Amino acid sequence: MSAQIINGRALAAQVYAELDARVGALRACGVTPRVALILVGGNELSKRYVSIKENAATSHGMECIVYHLSDATTQERLIELIGALNRDRLVHGVLVQMPLPEHMDTAEVLDAIEPTKDIDGLHFCNTGKLLNSVPAVVACTPRAIMRILDDVGVRLERAHTVIVGRSMLVGKPIAICLLNRNATVSVCHSHTPNLGDITRTADVLVVAAGSPRLIKADMVKDDAVVIDVGQSTVDGKLCGDVDFPEVSKKASYITKVTGGVGPMTVAMLMTNLVDCAELAMHTTAKEI
């Protein structure tokens, strides 16, 4: 039997409908969620991602200011700009598009963002809170995956979840999100021997390796839920980490690249922005 394909675009549309109502309520109180997107230099892919995010914000009643800085910008100058945006009460979210030029220290730059405006959820303060099960801004791809699994109706406390990849952007935070929901979690990486022996035990398999078609059908258990995060370009086309035609014959549910995790990631970034704007409004109200 073929897997049911998880429609990330349709689920994202539901998320945007929820957001439209929340943005409407904020605007009625005189608050328009506003994000500052900073791109330093950047290749064509980075520019495309920034434009997708800008479009998502502006099509749902939010404001977006794009700062496109040259490759030659110093880290000091970038951190000065972040500081000014941190202090600007009209800005609710600050996002620095990755990757940064080589002369910059990514951790230092991310650390400069005010945690309550860190809509990417990558500040140490937010990752630390997540680790401690304290409410935090959660990175948008892990948040997207959790929403997808909830929508599918996976009973996480009964599931063995296997994650391929251990990055700070996807692998580690999704592992913590799943642990916080009482799933049993295994995390694999490039040093894991006999990867297939572990992935075959997964009720839920999340693959975020950036290795095109790494996961073949014989590495997947019958009826597993398979979430493909990977986005590599192969022969000019976007390609996932899962061999979709073969794995979709075995899985119960599967995401496709494209139209799976990608649109939900952007929708969750916008959710983080609205969360930050609501928090700022309530904090200001308390101060008054």
The set of catalytic residues is 53, 97, 120
- 271 in contact with ligand NAP (CB under 6 A): no
Taking the complex as a whole, how short is the minimal distance between the CB of residue 253 and ligand NAP, in angstroms?
Answer: 17
Q: Which is nearer to ligand NAP, 252 or 258 (CB)?
A: 258
Among 41, 61, 101, 210, binds ligand NAP (CB under 6 A): 210
- 242 in contact with ligand NAP (CB under 6 A): no
* Binding window for ligand NAP (CB under 6 A); candidates: 89-97, 108-116, 151-159, 229-237: 229-237
- 8 in contact with ligand NAP (CB under 6 A): no
Name the residue with tokens 């304290």.
134
- 94 in contact with ligand NAP (CB under 6 A): no
- 171 in contact with ligand NAP (CB under 6 A): yes
Long-range contacts formed by 11-16: CB under 8 A, 24+ apart: 11/147, 11/148, 11/151, 11/263, 11/264, 11/267, 12/263, 12/264, 12/266, 12/267, 15/147, 15/264, 15/267, 15/268, 15/270, 15/271, 16/60, 16/267, 16/270
Number of chain residues interacting with ligand NAP (CB under 6 A): 26
Among 34, 53, 60, 166, binds ligand NAP (CB under 6 A): 166
Tokens of 177: 């999100």
Taking the complex as a whole, how short is the minimal distance between the CB of residue 202 and ligand NAP, in angstroms?
Answer: 13
Contact 142, 183 (CB under 8 A): no
Q: Which is nearer to ligand NAP, 49 or 67 (CB)?
A: 49
Among 57, 82, 209, 219, binds ligand NAP (CB under 6 A): 209
Q: In this structure, is the dihedral angle defined by the CA atoms of residues 112, 116, 122 and 124, taken in order, positive or negative? A: positive
- 121 in contact with ligand NAP (CB under 6 A): no
Give CA 272 to chain center in angstroms: 10
* Binding window for ligand NAP (CB under 6 A); candidates: 11-19, 101-109, 163-171, 196-204: 163-171
Q: What share of the chain is helix, strand, coil (3-state, %, to 5)?
A: 45, 15, 35
- 187 in contact with ligand NAP (CB under 6 A): no
Among 7, 32, 75, 167, binds ligand NAP (CB under 6 A): 167
| Beta strand ranges found along the chain (DSSP E) | 4-6, 34-40, 63-69, 93-96, 160-164, 184-188, 204-207, 225-228, 232-234, 237-239, 253-255
Q: Which is nearer to ligand NAP, 115 or 262 (CB)?
A: 262
- CA angle, 65 as apex, 61 and 69 as ends, to 5°? 155
Chain residues in the site for ligand NAP (CB under 6 A): 141, 164-167, 169-171, 188-192, 195, 208-211, 214, 229-232, 261-262, 265
